[in-house]
Structure 1
Amino acid sequence: MNETKKYQVIKAVAENKKQKKRASVELNLSIRQINRLVKSYRENGKSAFVHKNRGRKNKHSVPEKIKQQIITSYQSFSIKPNIKHFTEILKNDHHICYTDTTIRSILYKAKILSPKAQKKTKRRLKQLIKQESQQTKQSENLLVPRAEDYLELPEKTHPSRPRKKYKGELIQLDASSYNWFGNQITHLHLAIDDASGNIVGAYFDQQETLNGYYHVLHQILTKQGIPVTFLTDKRTVFEYNRKSTKAVEEDTFTQFGFACHQLGIDIKTSSIPQAKGRVERLNGTVQSRLPVDLEIANIHSIEEANQFLSVWIRKFNRQFGHKTAESVYETSPTTAEINLLLATVSHRIVDNGHHIKYQNKFYLPTEGGSDKYFTRKTKALIIKAFNGEIYVNIAEKIYLTRRLKTHETYSKEFDGVSSDIKKERRKYIPPQSHPWKLESFKRYLQSIDRTIEEYEAEKTA
């Protein structure tokens, strides 16, 4: 009940300007209560209508000392956590146990806004003014709104869809550019399973690169298995078509796309963020929580952050993931096969010194421990495996490589004879049936009237 209204009505009754029955109806009180208020008014005047708890402190309120500790603790973060996350930090690190609503109220009274609520708070007044103006305009025009006035165009709609049923049925990929640690902006490559909500891969890099997505794919293959489909944005890392043709058989696979093609993973792309809303929302959640945890762990480099991610992801998945247990992941290839499947290829030409230059380093093809020298301008295909090993493909044959040194590490003339010099270990050479040379090997078998099945049968026999 409004105290001012109660005062005015009782005052009118006391001055015989209003009957008690009418006052009881206006104030929704009994005649007995009206008599009590009139008597109190005659004794104490207007102060009789002031609530007795006004100015008193609630015995269940948060102590001022705790409030100040909460405010000081929040201000100590250079990267502000959201209120929910900050509530968890207070509980775990300071043993201050209050609800996020209470913490939010304390910070708001101190004129401290959550990074999640700041934009909404700034626009609150503008939205209220806009709503009032719209209501006034409608009342002036006396127009009855129609359902058709609120319809959205079909091409602009992105209705929500349910999660997939099985783990591995759809993996959403994206990279988030953010000031994760320190003063430099880095990119976090993320992959989330649509069905379970688990983060299945994460990797920090300076830019959104093929290397970052290769590390994410490597984590998926080694820890989960082979998924069915990837959903990504339309970057040339994932998709590229020649401008001169749209024929499917003449599409040019990207490095990432070719690796997925060999594994049987379908790639779907979309330029609309709402189409892959799962990973977009994940970016916002991770941006709100991970920088705070990186600061607490005193992380300042990409190497340290990538090591920290494995522990952090397990904690994140326990709290937010595991929404389904059924899986359709297929068995992953062996470590050696994954190493070659996640390779990058580049075209090079043999130079005058019979070696090949790649990433400002020089390499010589080798076979059986001996160097192979090819003629000048011979075309070669450099294959850099996931573990960094370099292979060279010349005329449909794969060779190991030996990196040329800028200086000799041993001198026969001045260092004498050393027993510590050991022979280099023979490296693994991919078989003819490997994906990088499978097509050319099939053509060779066809020329001698044989099939790949017959070749595999003879090999196993």
Structure 2
Amino acid sequence: MGKVGGVTMQEKERAEIISACAKGDITVAVAAEQLDVTTRHVRRLLERFSEDGVSGLTSRRWGKPSNNQLEPELAKKALQLVHERYADFGPTLACEQLRVRHKLDLSKETLRHLMIKAGLWIPKAARSAKLHQPRERRPCVGELVQIDGSRHRWFEGRGEACTLLVFVDDATGKILQLHFAETETTASYFEATRRYIERHGKPQAFYADRAAVFRSPMATGRTRTQFQRALDELNIELICANSPQAKGRVERLNRTLQDRLVKEMRLEGISDMASANAWCSAFINRFNDGFARVARSPLDVHEPLHRNDNLALILAFHETRKLSSNLTLQYGGQLYLLKDKPEARALIGQRIDIHTDLEGKTELRANGQVMPHTCLELPKSVKPILVDNKTLHHVVDKKTRNRNERQNQSQNIIVKGVTAARKMSAQSRV
């Protein structure tokens, strides 16, 4: 609030209203309404005004310390503890620790101001924004391909929401592959990668985020995901970005597709994933003709498939299980029995590779050879239900009996059943 001659503007306005009330220009009730105070307080101000004039309306707390002022010793002690023990703590957490461990009861805002003044905390408004400097494009086509999945209502109200897997070249900005899938899973990326490689060949590297499909959530990071393992076998490098801005090219393309692709599919009347995947090639060609740029190098570094690269085998789920002494192993709720042959007996106690393709077909392999086997389904374990004798009939009705069937039975059958149950219960008690 500004001051005029040692008096604040608020006090000056108050003096004008009280002066008008003292002259009889306005009533006490009107003055109270304008000042937003009670009429009793207006009369009190009139007495001060008549005695001391405008200076009598000045707050008598002016120049005096606040009643809620923090004691200097308490502030000094709190800052000393924060500096010694909680220098890397935020104000909220440091305030909690001071209250619990040192019995110092300060508000978090008070401690925040103390820490800011002492240089122990930088407020958010004063922090420098994190910079994401642009990265130069790769010179060759196929040297780096950014991949990402975008969950959206691609068919608007004509179909359910689904995920679009996008493959864009870093050097030219060309869309190299679009694939619609129900969700962003390893199987969907296997299918999209297979179509990409069959069409363009093997790129040098894929650039993706840190989703569980690409990077193992384990802290050590030593465990490879299925997608990592497949790319290693194809000699394709997988780079995981540390932030969304690092792969901004595919992120910006997702926004463009959510506008342009959705409207074009509306005009074409496409409302399902199968039709969209079959139509996408025409859209990719039109889009690249209009928006792709020329790479700095005319070289295309996509590599053709090697004669030993079996995509159906590589882009599948690989697991291993140890072969038991009776030539069996368990996987996925199934019991696999290898045929009793000398080469199978030689593998007892060793790991057997289990390959499951995208269609669910499973093969057992050892040293690159398919092992003939038969498959049995394991019985599902049923956990016992622990109930007392008072609630047994209710649990049985709820879990196993058909209530509609019981309701359709005649009254005589129900009575006979109840009588028999009572008789059996009496016999068990005896």
- The structure with the larger Rg is 2
